[in-house]
Amino acid sequence: MARTTANMNMNDSTRQSDFIRDIVAEDLKTGKWDGRVVTRFPPEPNGYLHIGHAKSICLNFGIAAENAGGICNLRFDDTNPTKEEAEYVESIIEDVRWLGFDWGEHLYYASDYFEQMYDYAVQLIKKGKAYVCDLSADQMREYRGTLTAPGKNSLHRDRPVEENLDLFERMRAGEFPDGSRVLRAKIDMTHPNMNMRDPVMYRILHAAHHRQGNKWCVYPTYDWAHGLEDSIEGVTHSLCSLEFENHRPLYDWFLDALGVHHPQQIEFARLELTRTVMSKRKLVELVEGGYVNGWDDPRLPTLSGLRRRGYTPEAIRDFLKRIGMNKVVSTVDTALLEHCLRKDLNKRSPRVMGVLRPLRVVIDNYPDGQTDELEAINNPEDASAGTRKVPFSKVLYIEREDFMEEPPRKFFRLAPGREVRLRYAYFITCTDVIKDDAGEIVELHCTYDPATRGGDSPDGRKVKATLHWVSAEHSLPAEVRLYDHLLKDEASADAADWKSNLNPDSLEILTGCRVEPSLAAAPAGSRYQFERQGYFCTDPDSSEDKLVFNRTASLRDTWAKIQKQQKK
């Protein structure tokens, strides 16, 4: 499969042409489906959804929503009993809803069609188009041939219909052990497409199913089941990812052989993102191996992880709209996803002040015990968000990195003898630096100029920096979790040893942070911009006793720079 790094020079309003929407529009014009548009999102409940799935969700639900009377089914493709769990079903329902989509009454489980699928299989046997085969797994592999060598017929291929019917019924009745027999389609063992070489339709598996319990011990394969599910539901456009392109002839063969409603399968490229892993198999490995803290770890590209991290559904939808639909597997730069996120959060996030690595500052000329309530703007992007009061007092905290005892030429923030502005408050000047026995700076002494209240000097005096701050007495302690990419570099998400490429610094926990008092009792999921620091949201671990925030994204947007480099 071709693989490129997407070179997308898109401004906010453009979107790549979308061949799938073109097909749907054309079908509506020609009346191919009598004006119906029925799509489906068919997750297998064997893991949590990730942002790649969101591409499929937005596509399927989007197309249904854009066309009058369009319907999108949420269908659990739960035909494999061994890996599926009810927990996954619940998480998928929550995630699709969170993304902003609604399936109305169209929630289905493929396992509800088991009986009908079984009947269809009997029909194929009766038509002489399916047979029970007793070859072992090894023999099956050997008989299948290779891409360059044709396969050969199973010795059971010409079993009489009656015998096939009898054996298949007994397979269902549980008379045979796992792996002893399968039901296969009778197509062509010399077909150039390996998928057409008498593919397996049913295998024996004595395993309990999350919805069917022990009712079944034969389970349909994906290829047999998927087209039937689409057909039974009256789907018109069956949109799937590119790896199923080679399976389309089989999809078509089964539905034609049965003579039932036959949706059109259309493939699109899977979404891949730089510096993260997207396959469910790898995500399961990270979660079960304890490399991350569960499916909703904010470092993961799962929808629950992104939600916990502070992503908005709007940002994710905007991102997916911008990358559009394509037929070449392309790895999209995570910087574009973050760009969409920042654009959205910039509009909606209330600004607050939080100090991540506090340095104590004593304002020597400020009266003991006095508190001043200063007015701060909640969101410069949104006047209706209003203002709030922030308490100022004699002892404050500023960011440790905003002070340098011996500043280099380009450092304009606080230094001995230098004057800076405290946001919404006063100009202060550093007069003294206190160190502990180890030589570490533990406290600054400053003076403030009462005439600069609000942050402006009446005499027109200029300062080169504005710092954020909190009042020591009034601020609240907080833990802040900083996240970085899951992988160290882009190279080896595909390599066998991809886990050796995990970024050891993907999580940094800061425990001594201080935030302004307006953040008390912020419910989990509340989003803020910590001025000068980035976008943050309250973690579900947060409590009244211990506030916990996740950094959703820093303020620095690298997308424009990457685009400029790509243009060169």
Site for ligand ATP in 185-224 (CB under 6 A): none
Of residues 18, 20, 56, 337, which one binds ligand ATP by CB under 6 A?
56
Is-catalytic flag, 546? no
The verdict on 16 binding ligand ATP (CB under 6 A) reads no
Residue-wise DSSP of 115-160: HHHHHHHHHHHHTT-EEEE---HHHHHHHH--SSS-----TTTT--
Which residue, 316 or 425, is less far from ligand ATP as judged by CB? 316
Is-catalytic flag, 44? yes
Q: Which stretch binds ligand ATP (CB under 6 A): 79-87, 274-282, 347-355, 513-521?
A: 274-282
Q: Active site residue: 36, 44, 314, 357, which one?
A: 44
Q: Which of 367, 356, 377, 373 is nearest to 469 (CA)?
A: 356
Size of the site for ligand ATP (CB under 6 A): 14
**Number of CB atoms found within 10 A of residue 567's CB:** 8
CB of 302 to ligand ATP, least distance (A): 10
The verdict on 53 binding ligand ATP (CB under 6 A) reads yes
Site for ligand ATP in 275-304 (CB under 6 A): 278-280
Phi, psi dihedrals of residue 38, rounded to the nearest 5°: -125, 115
CB of 344 to ligand ATP, least distance (A): 21
Is-catalytic flag, 280? yes
Paired tokens of 318: 């905007």
How far is it, in rounded angstroms, from Cα 195 to Cα 338?
A: 40
Which residue, 153 or 279, is less far from ligand ATP as judged by CB? 279
Phi, psi dihedrals of residue 62, rounded to the nearest 5°: -60, -50
Which residue, 50 or 388, is less far from ligand ATP as judged by CB? 50
- For residues 109 to 128, the per-residue mask of contacts with ligand ATP, x marking binding by CB under 6 A and - elsewhere, is --------------------
Classified as helix, coil or strand, 449 is: strand
Paired tokens of 42: 């068919």
Paired tokens of 113: 């069609």
Of residues 159, 226, 270, 481, which one binds ligand ATP by CB under 6 A?
270
CB of 492 to ligand ATP, least distance (A): 18
Residue-wise DSSP of 206-238: ---BTTTBTS-SEEE-HHHHHHHHHHHTT-SEE
Amino acid at 27: D
**Element spanning 387, H or E:** strand 387-392
How far is it, in rounded angstroms, from Cα 168 to Cα 162?
A: 10
The residue with its CB nearest to ligand ATP is 52
Amino acid at 28: L
Q: Is the dihedral of CA 347, 348, 352, 356 positive or negative?
A: negative
The verdict on 75 binding ligand ATP (CB under 6 A) reads no
Of residues 19, 44, 140, 372, which one binds ligand ATP by CB under 6 A?
44
Which residue, 92 or 353, is less far from ligand ATP as judged by CB? 92
Contact positions vs ligand ATP (CB under 6 A):
42-44, 52-53, 55-56, 240-241, 270-271, 278-280
Active site residues: 44, 270, 280
